[in-house]
């Protein structure tokens, strides 16, 4: 959240994905970005996914592949 709130990305970022169902459907403070489930990406079909924690990069790529999605994956 700190990264997105610090860098004004509202026009460049469409949504924030979180696996925690308690956060889904909410909006991030200071950004107004909706927090969605990973399954939302099937419909959204992003061109780029930014992974905030490199520890999860390979797991996220595997999940994207299972959803037949192949966006560019960047890691912060």
Question: What is 15-70 written as a DSSP string?
Answer: -EE-S-TTTTT-B-TTT-PBEE-GGGHHHH--SEEEES-GGGHHHHHHHHHHTT--
Query: pTM of the full predicted structure?
Result: 0.85
- Residue 42 has what pLDDT? 97
Closest CA to 2 of 48, 52, 56, 50: 52
Q: Per-residue confidence of the chain (76 residues) as pLDDT tens digits?
A: 677 777 776 678 889 999 999 999 999 888 888 999 999 999 999 999 999 999 999 999 999 999 999 999 999 8
- Residue 1 has what pLDDT? 67
DSSP H or E stretch at residue 74: strand 72-75
Q: Compute CA 19 distance to the chain's CA centroid, rounded to the nearest angstrom.
A: 10
């Amino acid at each position: 959240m700190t990264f997105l709130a610090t860098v004004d990305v509202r026009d460049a970022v469409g949504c924030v994905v979180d696996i925690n169902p308690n956060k889904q459907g909410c909006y991030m403070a200071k950004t107004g970005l909706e927090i969605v489930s990973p399954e939302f990406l099937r419909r959204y079909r992003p061109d780029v996914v930014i992974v905030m924690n490199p520890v999860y990069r390979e797991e996220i790529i595997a999940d994207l592949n299972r959803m037949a999605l192949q966006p560019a994956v960047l890691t912060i």
